[in-house]
Amino acid sequence: MRVETHILRLDTAPDISVHDVTPAVRSFLDTTGIRSGFVVITSQHTTTAVAINEYEGRLVEDTKAFLKRLIPPRDKYLHNDIHLRDCPPDEPQNAHSHLAAMLLGSSEVIPVHEGELVLGRYQSVLLFDLDGPRQRQVSLRAFGD
């Protein structure tokens, strides 16, 4: 079994942003020549998440609004007591972003069959940046033959 690795880098927008990384994952898979196996997509940050769902503009906006209602950015969180923590003074108050990332998850595993990602018709691989803008990294690892 072969293993191929790539780091995908993205510059993200302010607040919550959602990025369809499916084309980048497919492009990476094409370079590997792997025909049968799986790809692991992993966020490299504690305030980003990876999920498989439909990448449709209105659903993206619904998801952002839902996360903000579920985990309001302005609520009181212990993690936001920057003065009580050992961290740089410019540390953002971003507990809500960490909590949302934990709910959404940090990785996905997608089977590969005949050199193609096994995804449903409306499924895309999405990167959620929950604390942008930032430069983000996503690890792509393909396993197979």
For 114-137, write each residue's pLDDT tens digit: 999 999 999 999 999 999 999 999
Q: Which CATH superfamily is domain 2-144 in?
A: YjbQ-like (2.60.120.460)
Residue 143 has pLDDT above 80, yes or no: yes
Q: How far apart are CA 73 and CA 6, in angstroms?
A: 33
Q: How far apart are CA 86 and CA 7, in angstroms?
A: 30
Tokens of 129: 């940046």
Q: How far apart are CA 53 and CA 68, in angstroms?
A: 19
**Per-residue pLDDT, 89:** 77
Q: What does the domain layout of the chain look like in residue ranges?
A: 2-144
pLDDT in tens, 46-105: 999 999 999 999 999 999 999 999 999 999 999 999 989 998 878 999 999 999 999 999
95-104 and 57-70 helices cross at what angle (nearest 10)?
120
pTM: 0.95
**Per-residue pLDDT, 23:** 98
What mean pLDDT comes out for the span 32-50? 98
- The answer to whether the beta carbons of residues 142 and 32 sit under 8 Å apart is yes
